[in-house]
Amino acid sequence: MNRIQNARERYEWGKSAERFMNQKLQQGFNPFEEINIASPAKLPVIEQQLKIIIEENTRSASKSKINSYNEQCNRLIKYIKSEGLQDISMHELNADRGK
């Protein structure tokens, strides 16, 4: 969308995309179910995925930001293990599993 320079054309393109997605949703399309179906059989478990995210987000971060990210990540991993969710991938974590 951002490649379109003219504001009116960009607005029309956005409205067209919105109409398309609303039609799909009304027809019963659920993007969250599609993620589960389309995902490869073997994804890294959630702990490994979190570590990758932390590494990518802290490449050029300050020491205090890195420590803060690691602390939050460790808390989340501790929760995941206490709930027995350590063998799932991140896209499988939802509100029902996180209760």
One domain for residues 85 and 47: yes
One domain for residues 58 and 71: yes
One domain for residues 50 and 69: yes
pTM over 0.85: no
One domain for residues 83 and 52: yes
One domain for residues 81 and 63: yes
One domain for residues 52 and 8: no
Q: Is-contact 82 39, C-beta < 8 A?
A: no
One domain for residues 30 and 55: no
Residue partners of 89: CB distance under 8 A and separation at least 6: 39, 43, 44, 45, 46, 49
pLDDT in tens, the chain (99 residues): 667 788 888 999 999 999 999 998 998 888 777 665 555 556 788 888 888 889 988 888 899 999 999 999 999 889 888 988 888 888 777 767 655
Q: Which domain holds residue 64?
A: 40-99
Our count of domains for the chain comes to: 2
